[in-house]
């Protein structure tokens, strides 16, 4: 809710650059999203994710398109777009790299990782490298604290990070080396990820494991000790994921 205090008001909003990629096909998809809901306006958040997947940010043309489809004013759409931190007014790189610096991750090493990455990439918070590849941002708790310190690339988990593994990760991303999330899929681009958030699946749900070590910590212990809920377990004896 960046607009409260200093964060958003001191940033200029880029106006149209005249190269919007919103097409009739985009508008048709917006209408498709709107049709999922009993009341069309509910589609606004996914539609803005769609705008980002097409434009690489929330553009004035994207805002106007949402407004047209939902019969709202541009100002109404803008007021919503500026409220949410995932919507970006400035172009985002191919890879959005987040470092959790909420308290738990911060003390476990997130602060040092974030400092190291700023130096290594020569960018500040919410800035993009010159080659347009990486946008670095510090994040609030991403619901993965049992894997602290946590990083996210295009909203995929990277667990138990160190300054060394973090710099290696961003180097790999910049070099175009294939990168996989330890609890997710092969990393796609930020725009492709935004399209999934708009509600268009990319067929990668079956990649990756059921969970990591921490997810399974209690269950593994229960299996070892033969502990179950009353009535037993229907899964204790069957083949397991490795």
Partner 1 sequence: MADTLTPVLSDNWDQIRSWQLSSYQRSGGYDALRKALAMQPADVVATVKDSGLRGRGGAGFPTGMKWQFIPQDNPNPKYLVVNADESEPGTCKDIPLMMASPHTLVEGVIIASYAIRASAAFIYVRGEVLHVIRRLQQAVQEAKDAGLIGTNILGSGYDLDVVVHAGAGAYICGEETALLDSLEGRRGQPRLRPPFPAVAGLYGCPTVINNVESIASVPAIIKNGADWFSSMGTEKSKGMTLYSLSGHVTRPGQYEAPLGITLRELLDLAGGVREGHELKFWTPGGSSTPLLTAEHLDVPLDYEGVGSVGSMLGTKALQIFDESVCVVRAVLRWTEFYKHESCGKCTPCREGTWWLVQILERLEKGQGSDEDLDVLLDLSENILGRSFCALGDGATAPITSSIAHFKDEYLAHFENGGCPFDPMASTVFATAGASA
Binding to ligand FES in span 85-114, by CB under 6 A? 100, 102, 104-105
Contact between 30 and ligand FES (CB under 6 A)? no
Q: Does 39 bind partner 1 (CB under 8 A)?
A: yes
Q: Which of positions 185-204 make contact with partner 1 (CB under 8 A)?
A: 185, 193, 196-199, 201-202, 204
Q: Which two tokens stand for residue 151?
A: 């990083």
CA distance 191 to 55: 8
The residue count for binding ligand FES (CB under 6 A) is 10
**Segment interacting with ligand FES, rule: CB under 6 A, options 77-85, 145-153, 162-170, 214-222:** 145-153
Supply φ then ψ for residue 217, to 5 degrees: -55, -50
Q: To which H or E segment does residue 122 belong?
A: none
Distance between start and end Cα atoms, the chain: 42
- How far apart (Å, rounded) are the C-alpha atoms in residues 162 and 150? 9
DSSP sequence for 185-219: -B---HHHHHHHHTT---S-TTSS-S--TTTTHHH
Site membership for partner 1, residue 11 (CB under 8 A): no
150 binds ligand FES (CB under 6 A): yes
Residue 219 found at the interface with ligand FES (CB under 6 A)? no
Q: How far is CA 70 from CA 30, 44, 63, in A?
A: 9, 8, 11
Q: How far is the CB of 152 from ligand FES (least distance, A)?
A: 9
Q: Rounded to 5 degrees, what are φ and ψ at 115?
A: -60, -45
Residues facing residue 139 across a β-bridge: 100
Residue from the set 145, 214, 216, 219 that interacts with ligand FES by CB under 6 A? 145
14 vs 211, beta carbon nearer partner 1? 211
Q: Which does 56 bind (CB under 5 to 8 A by kind): partner 1, ligand FES, none?
A: none
What order do you get walking across the sheet with 134-139 strand by strand?
A: 127-128, 134-139, 95-100, 151-153, 156-158
Q: Which does 28 bind (CB under 5 to 8 A by kind): partner 1, ligand FES, none?
A: none
Identify the residue among 32, 64, 146, 172 touching partner 1 (CB under 8 A): 146
Is residue 4 within the footprint of partner 1 (CB under 8 A)? yes
Q: In sequence order, what are the beta bridge partners of 134?
A: 95
**141 touching ligand FES, by CB under 6 A:** yes
Give residues 59-118 in contact with partner 1 (rule: CB under 8 A). Answer: 70, 79-80, 83-87, 98, 101-104, 106-109, 111-112
Please give the residue ranges that form the binding site for ligand FES (CB under 6 A). 100, 102, 104-105, 141-142, 144-145, 148, 150
């Amino acid at each position: 809710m960046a607009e409260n205090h200093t964060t958003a008001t001191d940033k200029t909003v880029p106006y149209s650059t005249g190269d919007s990629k919103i097409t009739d096909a985009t508008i048709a998809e917006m209408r498709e999203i709107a049709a999922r809901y009993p009341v069309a306006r509910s589609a606004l958040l996914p539609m803005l994710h769609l705008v980002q997947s097409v434009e690489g940010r929330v553009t004035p043309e994207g805002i106007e398109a949402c407004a047209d489809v939902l019969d709202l004013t541009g100002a109404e759409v803008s007021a919503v777009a500026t409220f949410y931190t995932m919507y970006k007014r400035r172009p985002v790189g191919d890879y959005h790299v987040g470092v959790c610096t909420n308290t738990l991750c911060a003390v476990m090493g997130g602060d040092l990782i974030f400092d190291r990455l700023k130096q290594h990439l020569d960018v500040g918070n919410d800035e993009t490298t010159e080659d347009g590849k990486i946008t670095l941002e510090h994040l609030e708790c991403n619901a993965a604290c049992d894997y602290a310190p946590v990083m996210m690339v295009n909203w995929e988990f990277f667990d138990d990070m160190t300054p060394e593994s973090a710099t290696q990760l961003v180097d790999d991303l910049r070099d175009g080396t294939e990168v996989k999330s330890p609890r997710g899929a092969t990393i796609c681009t930020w725009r492709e990820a935004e399209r999934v958030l708009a509600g268009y699946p990319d067929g990668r749900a079956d990649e990756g494991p059921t969970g990591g070590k921490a997810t399974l910590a209690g269950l593994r212990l229960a299996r070892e000790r033969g502990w179950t809920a009353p009535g037993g377990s229907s899964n204790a004896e069957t083949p397991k994921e490795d």
